[in-house]
Structure 1
Amino acid sequence: MIAASTTHLVLIPSYNPGAKVYETVRAARQYWSPVWVVVDGSNDGSAEGLQAMAAEDDGLRVMILPRNQGKGAAVLHGLEQAAAAGFSHVLTMDSDGQHPAERIPAFMAASMRQPAAMILGMPVFDASAPGLRVQGRRVSNLWANLETLWSGIGDSLFGFRVYPVEPLRQVMRHQPWMRHFDFDPEAVVRLCWRGVRPVNLPAPVRYYRAEEGGVSHFRYLRDNALLAWMHTRLFLGFVLRLPVLLMRRALGRI
């Protein structure tokens, strides 16, 4: 039996993930308590299955949003509930089985050692990773590092990471755009602007084929258009903040 943390929880946003979500949640519960799942308007039956699991597991909580609002919106809902319950940090991970539950304890331990930092997963890809996805993320990473004057963001897109709750809540409350797929890179850039230091830890990632139960909601044109618009907004914000960022760089605070 894992003792429940009073400061750190695992937060899993979930939208139509298929049966992989049950494996994901069981694996997360094997390594941590509590685990919260925010069901983002799923209509694939997974909400009911997760509720049944939670009814038999005090370490699991399931929250259901009535309609699909986007990954960022689901995370924000979880953040608000976590803050109300007194938690200081959340580890976010995807519900489709791609993220490594066995790395949860190491990431949480790193966060407890450096509570003011955000602990970012550095994906370690295997042969299952689509080449186009691996190559394409380099563009987003380049922009994210430019927009933060190379403050140390190892990977801007990988959603397996630990956030301090309050800084992220404050950022998201003032940024209504941060509600969809592009939430992850915008979160790390804006947190860097607020002085939240990134700490990078390796984490293996697994892409499942459809015949293995893998479900992907990634749409190449739509999601890359979202990323392009997001980085346009961030670059404009970067230009406005450049004098402050340069001063912080000169003082060794970046």
Structure 2
Amino acid sequence: MENLNTSIKGKHALPAMDGNPHDVLVVIPTYNERENIEHIVNLALDSTKRVHVLVVDDGSPDGTGDLADAMAARNPRIHVMHRTGKQGLASAYLQGFEWGQAQGYTYLMEFDADGSHPAAKIPELIAQLDAGAELVLGSRWVPGGATENWPLSRQLLSRMAALYCRIWLNSGIRDITAGFRGYRADTLKTFDLSRIGAAGYCFQIEMAWMYERAGLPVVEVPITFVERVHGNSKMSGNIIIEALWRVAAWGIGYRSRGIQHVVTGK
């Protein structure tokens, strides 16, 4: 996986599998998140001793990658992947997953660097994977889920996006766009991820629907999603347009085949 555009720093030993095993890799993509990254990584590490963190930095001009390197030099549970240029959310996660699989981690998790995902919920997502879930989502739109500091317009946009996906994709997942999630690494290996076409946040929809179509157990855990305090959101009009046309195209292509509703959200 390491190529001309990618380098990794940190202690690259395989995760320990006895005592307090470090069998969970939390992948955190970054681009200009210097104000957030140290706090967010520490929250993830403090949530459970099972966690290692991989920061995937796309050459942040603000020095996020350098700060992550300094953290990794002090803590063997932190690893850093440096990529040349802004290559996007989907490829950051996919390269992070590939590295995690090669290192032998049991579970692979997605986590935002902006503070919107509650790190205190990481153990609950891990518990669902331990119990047999193949994919677990931190969901805003199941009973007990919520958002904090979101304007009404943002809530409506997110809810409408979720409904749009449920209708077009005949999906039972309430928050299919959720970016706080965990996968079983061995199951993820069985999919041809080179076929994933979405580049932005639509990647989350494509990955979750892939699991749902395969009939694999998907669990939604309620979380409170908090609006970022520092930095700027990476959401853009192009990302929304991509999601609209891709979801419609997927729905037209697969509607006649049908999919199983396998979600067992709380």
CA distance in 2, matches of 1:171, 1:58: 31
1:5 aligns with 2:22: yes
CA distance in 1, matches of 2:188, 2:31: 22
State the match for 1:233 in structure 2.
249
Residue 215 of structure 1: how far off its partner (Å) = 2.3
1:74 aligns with 2:92: yes
User: Is residue 168–residue 248 contact of structure 2 (8 Å, CA) maintained in 1?
Assistant: no
Aligned AA for 1:113? A
Residue 118 of structure 1: how far off its partner (Å) = 0.8
Same amino acid, percent of matched pairs: 26
CA distance in 1, matches of 2:166, 2:183: 18
State the match for 1:83 in structure 2.
101
After TM superposition, the structure 1 = structure 2 runs for residues 115-194 of structure 1, keeping only pairs within 5 Å, are: 115=133, 117-123=134-140, 124-151=145-172, 153-168=173-188, 170-175=191-196, 177-194=197-214
**CA RMSD across the alignment:** 2.3
Aligned length, in residue pairs: 239
Partner of 1:34, secondary structure, is strand
C-alpha spacing 1:54/1:197, structure 2 compared with 1 (3 Å): same
State the match for 1:195 in structure 2.
215
User: Is residue 118–residue 198 contact of structure 1 (8 Å, CA) maintained in 2?
Assistant: yes
Structure 2: gaps of 5 or more residues: 1-18
1:21 aligns with 2:37: yes
Residue 132 of structure 1: how far off its partner (Å) = 1.9
User: Is residue 144–residue 189 contact of structure 1 (8 Å, CA) maintained in 2?
Assistant: no
CA distance in 1, matches of 2:250, 2:33: 30
Residue 234 of structure 1: how far off its partner (Å) = 1.6
C-alpha spacing 1:118/1:182, structure 2 compared with 1 (3 Å): same
In structure 1, which of residues 2, 24, 35 is the aligned counterpart of residue 53 of structure 2?
Answer: 35
CA distance in 1, matches of 2:161, 2:67: 35
Structure with the bigger percentage of helix: 1
**Alignment TM-score, normalising by the size of structure 1:** 0.85
**Alignment TM-score, normalising by the size of structure 2:** 0.81
Partner of 1:36, secondary structure, is strand
User: Is residue 138–residue 223 contact of structure 2 (8 Å, CA) maintained in 1?
Assistant: yes
CA distance in 1, matches of 2:151, 2:58: 26
CA distance in 2, matches of 1:144, 1:88: 30
